[in-house]
Amino acid sequence: MDEENVDDLKLNEEVGRVSVDAILHAAKLVKPGASLLDVAVASEKYLADIGYSPAFPINLSINQRAAHYTPTFEDMTLFGENDVVKVDFGAEKNGILGDGALTVDLSGNHSEMIDAAENALEAAISKVKVGVEVREIGREIERVVSSAGFSPIRNLGGHGIGVNELHEGVFIPNYDNGDTTRLEEGQTVAIEPFVTDGKGMVRDEAVCEIYTFVGHAGVRSPVARNVLAEIEKSYGQNPFAARWLARIAGSKFGLYASMSELVRVGAIEPNPVLIESGNGIVTQAEAELVVEKDGCRILTMVKR
């Protein structure tokens, strides 16, 4: 391995360690009666205080919501004593992105479903090496989840990760989808089993707080122009939360009017909340890793 690759791997490992610390820090804050917004702000500040940025807005997706829920500006939602919370988060440094997740069960009633996600993740990781087909990883996830009496979510899965690119290239399914794409040496990927007692599919909810910059477009509103300039300067291709732009927009109305206009003209892309189609509870486990010849190097692995 040449010196440049060694340095890249060291930075990947550093960002991975920080990401795990940040996820565990956030998970400890998830308690009945705690504010989602307070947890999000504190978790993202935790990274800033130690010299990192969020790779993406922290996801605090509760119960039937599988992914992509981050608090709104002035969000008043509190965690409930029966909530099942997916904490999905990661750090960023010099374009290197961390990604990992765990599930916090405030009810204490869904440990078997959490175990299914975590066991499926471990089984999937055991299959990773150069040349393995992604369908084989999906088959292993489905085997473990089904044997536990639950269903994998079939239209969610893992993904490749590039420099300043959270979802790049390869898709890693949570079931055998027939994809014969093979993993390559040096690829950074995230594997993330989603498990449910519902239908095993998600749909878009009419809620969106996470967006991605697409490019320049004609914008009529001066406020929206200022918001777009800030997005391009501060976030580039990385996902961002609408609430991060409240200061630039100046008001709640200005913020959400700007988001609507920027989506309408194609300057930003919405990443709506994903909710289980059968109203089932969802659990999640996720690890980021680098593919190696005979296995993998784990960058983020978060356990309860």
Q: Is 176 helix (H, G, I), strand (E, B) or coil?
A: coil
CA dist., res. 169 & res. 182, Å (int): 12
Active-site option among 8, 92, 99, 276: 99
pLDDT of residue 1: 46
Q: What is the mean pLDDT of residues 52-71?
A: 98
Q: How far is CA 126 from the centre of its chain?
A: 22
- The pLDDT score that the predictor gives to residue 6 is 62
Q: Which is catalytic among the residues 44, 75, 192, 209?
A: 192
pLDDT in tens, 19-39: 999 999 999 999 999 999 999
Percent of the chain with pLDDT over 90: 94
Q: b/e for 222-235, b at 16 or more Cβ within 10 A?
A: ebbbbbbebbeeeb
The whole domain housing 262 covers: 210-270
Give the CATH number of the domain where residue 229 resides: 1.10.10.10
One domain, residues 132 and 40: yes
Catalytic: 286? yes
Co-location of 260 and 198 in the same domain: no
CATH number assigned to the domain comprising residue 161: 3.90.230.10
User: Are the C-beta atoms of 117 and 197 separated by less than 8 Å?
Assistant: no
Looking at residue 216, its pLDDT comes to 86
Q: Is 216 among the residues known to form the active site?
A: no
Q: What is the pLDDT of residue 3?
A: 47
Residues 158 and 50 occupy one common structural domain: yes
> Among this protein's residues, is 99 annotated catalytic?
yes
Our count of domains for the chain comes to 2
- Report whether pLDDT(73) > 60: yes
- The answer on 154 and 15 residing in a single domain is yes
Note whether 221 and 161 are same-domain residues. Answer: no
Same domain, 19 and 147: yes
Of the listed 8, 88, 118, 209, which one is catalytic?
Answer: 88
- Same domain? 106 vs 223: no
Q: Is residue 167 flagged as an active site residue?
A: yes
Mean pLDDT of 283-300: 97
Based on the fold, state whether residues 296 and 242 are members of the same structural domain. no
What pLDDT, in 10s, does the model give residues 226-253? 999 999 999 988 999 999 999 999 999 9
- Residue 256: name the closest of 207, 215, 217, 213 by CA: 207
Catalytic residue among 21, 122, 136, 167: 167
Query: Mind listing the pLDDT tens digit for each residue in 172-211?
Result: 999 999 999 999 999 999 999 999 999 999 999 999 999 9
Q: Based on the fold, state whether residues 222 and 199 are members of the same structural domain.
A: no
Q: Which residue has the tokens 């800030």?
A: 230
Helix H, strand E, coil C: the string for 27-61 is HHHCCCCCEHHHHHHHHHHHHHHCCCEECCCCEEE
Q: What is the pLDDT of residue 8?
A: 83
Cα–Cα dist 241/161, whole Å = 20
Whether 192 is catalytic: yes
Same domain, 200 and 223: no
Query: Which position among 92, 209, 286, 288 bears the catalytic label?
Result: 286
